[in-house]
Amino acid sequence: MVFYKWDILGTPKFVKFLNFKKMFSDPTFWSSLAHTFYFTLLTVPPLVILAFLISVLINSRRVRGKDFLRTAFYLPYTLSISVVCLTWGMIYNPHFGIFAQIFKFFGAQPINWLGDSRWAMPAIALTTIWWTIGFNIVLYLAGLQQIPPSYYEAAELDGATGFQKMFYITIPLLKRVHALVTVLQILASLQIFGQVFIMTSGGPAGKTRVLLLYIYEKGFRYFKMGYAQTMAFFLFLTMIAFAYLQIRLMMGKER
Amino acid sequence: MKIKTLIITIIALGLAVVYLVPVIWMGLSSFMDEKDILASRWIPSRVHLENYKIVLHRAKISRWFTNSLITASLGTLGVLGVGIFAGYSLGRMRYPGRRILFFFALSGFMIPIQGIMIPLYLMLKRFGLVNNLLGLILPAWPSSLAVFVLSQFMREIPIEFEEAARMDGASELQILFKVILPMSLPAIITVTVFHFTAIWNDFLWPLIIMTSDDMYTLPVGLVTLAGSDVNIRYGPIMAANVIASLPIIIVYVFFQRYLTRGFIMEVK
């Protein structure tokens, strides 16, 4: 398909590499790609690190109410993207949203988060972090529960501090889980679409238009199927390396 | 020691409550009229049920609800059907080429729906499945995650159970259904909850293939609802959000304690 000019009604026309040429000289393609990477950069580190810290907290022997904690942090992930984005659209409202209320309380001028070209993407990133961190927490908890308690007991006998146990037992033993969560998260973040579609439609001034949104616009609004698929193919290629890593991690060692 | 427990617990519970604020706000706002919302109230001045009435009355929300329910149920059943057989074969049977097959099964991860959405759309169009629930259900069936979770879990079941059944003359299928399947229940629950939620909440795919508002699923319906009718403002939208979320939240709260048990993570 990437070699065809394919408008949904007409017959596909073979155009060789024209779609690729067009893509590489399309400034909107490059800016959409940059926005996608920006979003990935904003979301992956917090989603991995916070997920790990929260799982350690939930898994800690000293914490009571584990069921409630697990439910609380996973609950947002069970909500539909539309529910999340419509609710957060209200939370970001510059007149009566939660952040506006906090700003007003401190006597500051509320920011129009989603309408400000500097803040729109970080705002979308924050919503995404809140929404999806639960999945990573489940993966981390599954990993944490498989560390034999005897490791910690032995360390305690040797007089290890909590800090030492964390850095010499927990973090290194979860090496595979860290890698898996990171790779999965990169793949998920590169596929950002719905949050932008619902909350800003790519605005303000195209500052949050991500690659998948651009593909959707070209393919299903203007029906440039060949060109849209060329860009989708490009996105697919950037993801393949990460996906390959992920599969290697999931297959593990043969027994 | 006791005090430390108390402090950590309070911190953790505090964090969790802050985390739930958006959900709580959504719930409270669904009972408010516009005036309360615009005045940034937190407690409704009176319980305002009209929001729910407006939504249930005017919007096609029950239609969307049914569409979502059918799609998510049949989609999940299909995922289990494929995943259980594939998981058993890849996790427990020994035959040449198994590792390559496993690689292919997992390589589904490499091809997210976004990468193939345009060819898939054109294909479904040719089969007449555009604007048809089957166009949502069938593409959901092959799931790498399900195959992965089930095969990993089944692999951990000790071989002795299988051998004992074989001694009693059980066939391969009997072993799968009478021995392995009951023991894999945690993994099956994990797969079910994950996929039901994922299909119920999917946005991009139904947005692409559903062309009439009768066929929308809840997520797509909600967004068009929020964008279409000027009379449907914040309160009713939050009410619609609550209606859309409640079934999933109930399923989840019910099953959450099993969710992590289905995962076998290799720790090293």
Mutate to test the interface with B, among A61, A64, A79, A234 (most CBs of B within 10 A): A79
**DSSP structural state of residue B108:** G
Q: Where are the alpha helices (DSSP H) in chain B?
A: 2-29, 34-38, 50-58, 61-92, 98-106, 113-126, 134-137, 144-155, 159-167, 172-174, 181-183, 185-201, 204-209, 218-228, 234-259
**Higher model confidence: residue B70 or residue A145?**
B70
Is B123 at the interface with chain A, CB within 8 A? no
CA distances to A62, A198, A217, A220, A253 from A223, rounded to whole Å, are 57, 21, 8, 5, 45
**Average pLDDT score over residue span B139-166:** 86
Asked whether residue B188 carries a pLDDT value surpassing 70, the answer given is yes
Question: Would the ipTM clear 0.95, i.e. be above it?
Answer: no
From chain A, the residues in CB contact with B260 under 8 A are 70, 138, 141-142, 145
**Distance between CA A174 and CA A180 in Å, rounded?**
10
CA angle (B130, B136, B142) in 5-degree steps: 125
- Under an 8 A CB cutoff, do B12 and A83 touch? no
- Under an 8 A CB cutoff, do A225 and B103 touch? no
**Average pLDDT score over residue span A85-110:** 85
Structural domains in chain A, CATH included, are 4-251 (1.10.3720.10)
From chain A, the residues in CB contact with B220 under 8 A are 82
- Under an 8 A CB cutoff, do B237 and A60 touch? no
CB contacts < 8 A, A to B, total 216
pLDDT value at position A159?
83
Which chain A residue has its CA at the smallest distance from B98's CA? A254
Contacts of A107 (CB under 8 A, 6+ apart): none
Structural domains in chain B, CATH included, are 54-259 (1.10.3720.10)
CA angle (B102, B107, B108) in 5-degree steps: 110
Question: What is the pLDDT confidence band of residue B112, given thresholds at 50, 70 and 90?
Answer: low
Asked whether residue B233 carries a pLDDT value surpassing 80, the answer given is no
**Distance between CA B260 and CA B149 in Å, rounded?**
11
**Average pLDDT score over residue span B65-73:** 92
B28 burial type by CB count under 10 A (0-12 exposed, 13-18 middle, 19+ buried): middle
| CA–CA min distance B166, chain A (Å) | 22
- Under an 8 A CB cutoff, do A250 and B148 touch? yes
Backbone angles phi, psi at A224, to 5 degrees: -90, 75
Q: Which of B116, B204, B248 has its CB closest to that of A78? A: B248
Asked whether residue A151 carries a pLDDT value surpassing 50, the answer given is yes
Mutate to test the interface with B, among A19, A66, A82 (most CBs of B within 10 A): A82
**Average pLDDT score over residue span A239-249:** 77
User: Looking at the DSSP assignment, which residues form a beta bridge with residue A14?
Assistant: A4
Which chain A residue has its CA at the smallest distance from B101's CA? A251
CA distances to A239, A246, B16, B111 from A187, rounded to whole Å, are 6, 9, 27, 11
Asked whether residue A6 carries a pLDDT value surpassing 50, the answer given is yes
Mean pLDDT, all residues of chain A: 84
